Amino acid sequence: MAAEITPKRLELLSELVPEARVIGLLVNPVNQMTERIVTDVQKASQAKGIQLSVLKASSEEEIDAAFDTLSQAHANALLIVADPLFDSRQDQLAAQAARHGIPAISTWREFPVAGGLIIMARASQPATVKALF
């Protein structure tokens, strides 16, 4: 399901941050769905004329390093792919997004409360789209 919804999350993020010409895609390279998700999101980003910067992280330290790379790539927004590692590090992800001034979208329902821009998740979760402004 994550693979199908991720391109839609890119579309939503690009609508919420219309000035975003470069969007980061944070993936865990050890996740078996990563390659498919990256391919699908690249297609969606090309269709919208958005440059995609794929960032890989499989540890807390690599998450922090990914945000430094995101800043160097001059990304205007960040799409965080659903992954157990990222789900367990949402506070860190939201804090880094806030520190770097990067609007970010996640699937974790408490992400906006932690400081993230918005979530978009499967309909089976209590809230499909939730934002904190």
Q: What is the CATH number of the domain that holds 31?
A: 3.40.50.2300
Domain count, the chain: 1
pLDDT digits (tens, 9 = 90+) for 79-125: 999 899 988 888 899 889 888 988 888 876 666 555 555 554 544 44
- Are 7 and 41 a contacting pair, CB within 8 Å? yes
Q: Phi, psi at residue 50, to the nearest 5°?
A: -110, 135
Tens digits of per-residue pLDDT, 5-34?
788 888 888 888 889 899 999 999 999 999
> Does residue 129 lie within any of the structural domains?
no
Structural domain span for residue 93: 2-105
- Decide if 22 is inside a domain: yes
Residue 97 domain-assigned (yes or no): yes
Q: Quick check: is 58 in a domain?
A: yes
Instruction: Look up the pTM and report it.
Output: 0.82
Beta strand spans in the chain (E) = 22-27, 51-56, 77-80, 104-106, 118-120, 129-131
Q: Residue 29: inside a domain, yes or no?
A: yes
pLDDT per residue over 37-90, tens digit each? 999 999 999 999 999 999 999 999 999 999 999 988 899 999 999 899 988 888
What is the pLDDT at residue 129? 43
